[in-house]
Every structure is written in structure tokens, then in C-alpha cells.
């Protein structure tokens, strides 16, 4: 295990003494987690180990599965010999499992005094007036960029779309690409659409589209794609991005062949591991496109849930209280661990510069709105079909009319 991850696990052990106490727990606690990347995996293993240290008579069985594979495996896992705790996502992404009766109603857990400091995240876990899970981290999205290359080219962080386009032309003229992206697994294209659409039309419009209340052939949606196409036509994105995962697209930025990445803060650890220093790497808020709309931000919330068929509910609820406690939240979201934002208001925010920048950006976002991300705000089937269309647009922008017609046909069918 990398030493930086060892430090994060050690921090969990230190905070275990101050975690919420509970009755003595026994039996088996089965956890299935999709925290498969190196830093999250170390955190998950640390959580299991430290919760086990608090409850020596409890046998904890932790299974970590590939994050992408889990998106298709979870339903079977919830129905066949269900575990006691699983990872998933907040908001609309919960609804298929809530509607199918596969997630347990945890409203009683949210009545616990220890949950009071999670009030700001309660809405993201609420469907039909009840709560169906707990959050353990959230994180900002934004533009991570090569500060050293910007300085070499005499560029400033862009605030407006005009400045973004002007910067991009300078970058292209230098022989580099403006953006790296790996759209092989589609969701990264969804992130681009979130920002292009919300910056063009505003948060409320974006959520109306997600809720099936707006036609995909609407002129306002077309305006979003017209703005996005400006970058595509310039050649702003790396070639053949549809062949790369998000991790496989990182070397283009690390090697200086591309200067920026629109991505979540979870990517910072990978960028640092790739050799970029904090003197080379920086962050800016996605630029303003329409000055009449406040800037919405993607800040996805990752969650734990208890399957309805869980066998050890008492231990599962105790684990969820442990994970959301202030000291544990401080430890697992530190710059040496997840490198993200704690969901407990009583936790400390890491002094990592990117976490601080994200915290400041989201704290000043009272009017802009918080998006959970394309494949979480849109129903699962619409999200899947939609992201296929978004990736296709990035590769074949002349297909836009056909893409929008297909998405509109899907909207009519899915939301009926």
C-alpha cells in the first residue's frame, strides 16, 4: 500500500476512539463496496478494520468490486443473498432500487442526534418523504489545469466563455490540446453536458430536462450543443478520446500534450501520482457562458445503503453512524485519503488546496444550484441513452439532429 494511503488508514485508527458508541455487535457484517481505485480502496479497508476494532465480536466481510462493473451488478447483489451494506449514489440514481423495494427506509436513523450535522445532505437521500441511505463524501467538479503551461503561454484563468475560447486558441497554436478527456465509459461526456447546459440555460432548466419536462429538440438545448460545438470544431479535445477511460486520458495532461481536464476532485490524487506537483497544477470554476444565469456546479454525493434483505441491520446502522461521525469524516476526506469534502458539518475540511478551493466555490453557490451529475440526475435508462448520444456528438457533431431525435423519442417513452 502506498505510504500516503497508510497515513489515511492510520488516521482512521486514531479517530475510532471518538466514533459513536453502540451496543455490542455480533454476527457477520457483509459490505460490498465499489471504492476500487487505490485511494478509496485504502479508505474502505481502513473503515472496515477500524469499525471491526471497535466491535471485536463482529465478523466483517468486505468485498470490493470494480466501480464500473458495480453499476450493472448491484441489482443482482441486492436480490440474491444481499449484503448488509452497499455503496451507491444519491438522488435519482437511488430511485430504481427504492421503487423496487430493494433499499431499506433509514428515516429512523436520520432521527438520531448524531445525524443532525448532516442536515444539508438530507435532501439528496430523500425520496417520497423518506431517507434511503447516508452520504459519506461529496466533491466538486471543475477545470484542473497545467498552471505552468498557462504561465508559459501568458494565460490567465478564464472567467467568461469568450476568454475560454481565446485561451484555447492560444493553446492550440502552441501545438497542444486544450482538454483531455476519456469518454470510453460515457459519463465524462455527461459532465461536459452538465456544465454546457447549466451555464447556457441555468440550473432550473437543466433539472427540468432531467425530469423529462423539456424536449431534447428544444431550441434551448440546441443552444447548449452549439456552444459545445465551438470547442469541438476548434479541435480542443484530444483525438480518439472515445478509446480511453478517464484514467487512460490522464497522461495527456501529465505529459503536457493537453492543458486541462474537466473532472471531479477525486482525480487530483491520480494527477499527483502521475508526477504533477501542486506548483504545476491548479483549478478554476467552469467559465460563465450566459451572464443571466447563476453558475450551477456538479457536486456528486457518494452514499452507503442498507439492502432491504440485509441480515444484520443493527450492525449495518451502527456502521453508517460510524462512517458519518465527525472524526471519521475528517479522516477519510483528508487530502491524504479521498481528498474530498466531508458531509458532516462538524468535521474539519482538509487544508489541501484543491479541497479548500472546492469548499469555497460550493460555499459561495447559494443561488446557482448543485447538480448530482448527469447519470445521477437523469433516470438510469435516460442517462444511458443520453450519454451515448453525448459521446457520439463529441465524435460526430454533424449527427446532432439524429441524436436529438433519438433522445426525444427516448424521453417520450421513458417518462410516460
| Residues ≥6 apart with Cβ < 8 Å to 140 | 264, 265, 297, 298, 299, 341, 357, 358, 359, 361, 362
DSSP annotation of 68: H
Instruction: Report yes or no on whether pTM surpasses 0.85.
Output: no
- How many other CB atoms are there within 10 angstroms of residue 295's CB atom? 21
Instruction: Give me the pLDDT at residue 394, please.
Output: 98
Q: Which three cell numbers stand for residue 123?
A: 435532501
* Residue 177 bridge partners (DSSP): 258
- 227-243 residues labelled b (16+ CB within 10 A) or e (exposed): bbbebeeeebbbeebbe
CA distances from 34 to 42, 52, 87, 346, 395 (A): 12, 19, 6, 26, 30
pLDDT at 362: 84
pLDDT score of 360: 87
Specify whether the backbone of 275 is left (phi greater than 0), alpha (psi in -120 to 50) or beta: left
In this prediction, residue 365 carries a pLDDT of 72
Pairing, β 130-131 against β 141-146: unpaired
Q: What is the pLDDT along the chain (416 residues), one digit of tens a residue?
A: 443 344 444 455 445 444 454 568 999 999 999 999 888 999 999 999 999 999 999 999 999 999 989 988 999 999 989 999 999 998 888 988 999 999 999 999 999 999 999 987 888 899 999 999 999 998 899 999 999 999 999 999 999 999 999 999 999 999 999 999 999 999 999 999 999 999 999 999 999 999 999 999 999 999 999 999 999 999 999 999 999 999 999 999 999 999 999 999 989 989 999 999 999 999 999 999 999 999 999 998 899 999 999 999 999 999 999 999 999 999 999 878 888 899 998 999 989 899 999 888 887 776 788 898 999 899 889 999 999 999 999 999 999 999 999 999 999 999 98
Please state, in angstroms and rounded to a whole number, the distance separating the CA atoms of residues 269 and 258.
Answer: 18
Q: Which domains does the chain have, with CATH numbers?
A: 3-137+301-347 (3.40.190.10), 141-298+362-414 (3.40.190.10)
Task: Output the pLDDT for position 24.
Answer: 87
Q: Please, which residues have CB within 8 angstroms of residue 34's CB and are 6 or more apart in sequence?
A: 64, 65, 66, 67, 70, 87
pLDDT computed for residue 310 by the predictor = 98
Amino acid at each position: 500500500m502506498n505510504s500516503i494511503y497508510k497515513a489515511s488508514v492510520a488516521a482512521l485508527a486514531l479517530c475510532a476512539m471518538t466514533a459513536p458508541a453502540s451496543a455490542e455487535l455480533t454476527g457477520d457484517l457483509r459490505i460490498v463496496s465499489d471504492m476500487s481505485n487505490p485511494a478509496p480502496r485504502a479508505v474502505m479497508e481502513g473503515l472496515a478494520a477500524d469499525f471491526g476494532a471497535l466491535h471485536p465480536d463482529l465478523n466483517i466481510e468486505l468485498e470490493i468490486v470494480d466501480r464500473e462493473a458495480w453499476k450493472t451488478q448491484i441489482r443482482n447483489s441486492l436480490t440474491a443473498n444481499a449484503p448488509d451494506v452497499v455503496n451507491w449514489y444519491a438522488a435519482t440514481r437511488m430511485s430504481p432500487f427504492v421503487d423496487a423495494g430493494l433499499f431499506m427506509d433509514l428515516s429512523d436513523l436520520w432521527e438520531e442526534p448524531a445525524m443532525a450535522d448532516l442536515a444539508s445532505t438530507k435532501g439528496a437521500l430523500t425520496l417520497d418523504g423518506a431517507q434511503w441511505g447516508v452520504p459519506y463524501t461529496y466533491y466538486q467538479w471543475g477545470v484542473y489545469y497545467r498552471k505552468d503551461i498557462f504561465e508559459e503561454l501568458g494565460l490567465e484563468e478564464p472567467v467568461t466563455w469568450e476568454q475560454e475560447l481565446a485561451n484555447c486558441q492560444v493553446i492550440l497554436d502552441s501545438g497542444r490540446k486544450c482538454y483531455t478527456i476519456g469518454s470510453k465509459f460515457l459519463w465524462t461526456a455527461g459532465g461536459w453536458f452538465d456544465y454546457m447546459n447549466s451555464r447556457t440555460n441555468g440550473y432550473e432548466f437543466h433539472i427540468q430536462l432531467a425530469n423529462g419536462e423539456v424536449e431534447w429538440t428544444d431550441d434551448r438545448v440546441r443552444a447548449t450543443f452549439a456552444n459545445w460545438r465551438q470547442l469541438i470544431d476548434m479541435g480542443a479535445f484530444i483525438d480518439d478520446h472515445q478509446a480511453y477511460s478517464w484514467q487512460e486520458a490522464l497522461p495527456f495532461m501529465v505529459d503536457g500534450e493537453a492543458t486541462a481536464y474537466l473532472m471531479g476532485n477525486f482525480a487530483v490524487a491520480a494527477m499527483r501520482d502521475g508526477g504533477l506537483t501542486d506548483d504545476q497544477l491548479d483549478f478554476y470554476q467552469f467559465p460563465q457562458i450566459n451572464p443571466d444565469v447563476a453558475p450551477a456546479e456538479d457536486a456528486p454525493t457518494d452514499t452507503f445503503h442498507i439492502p432491504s434483505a440485509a441480515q444484520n441491520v443493527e450492525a449495518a446502522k451502527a456502521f453508517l453512524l460510524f462512517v458519518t461521525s465527525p472524526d471519521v469524516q475528517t479522516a477519510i476526506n483528508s487530502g491524504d485519503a479521498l481528498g474530498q469534502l466531508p458531509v458532516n458539518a462538524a468535521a474539519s475540511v482538509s487544508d489541501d488546496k484543491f479541497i479548500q478551493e472546492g469548499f469555497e466555490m460550493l460555499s459561495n453557490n447559494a443561488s446557482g444550484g448543485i447538480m448530482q451529475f448527469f447519470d445521477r440526475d437523469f433516470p438510469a435508462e435516460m442517462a444511458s441513452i443520453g450519454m451515448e448520444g453525448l459521446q457520439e456528438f463529441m465524435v460526430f457533431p454533424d449527427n446532432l439532429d439524429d441524436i436529438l431525435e433519438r433522445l426525444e423519442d427516448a424521453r417520450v417513452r421513458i417518462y410516460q
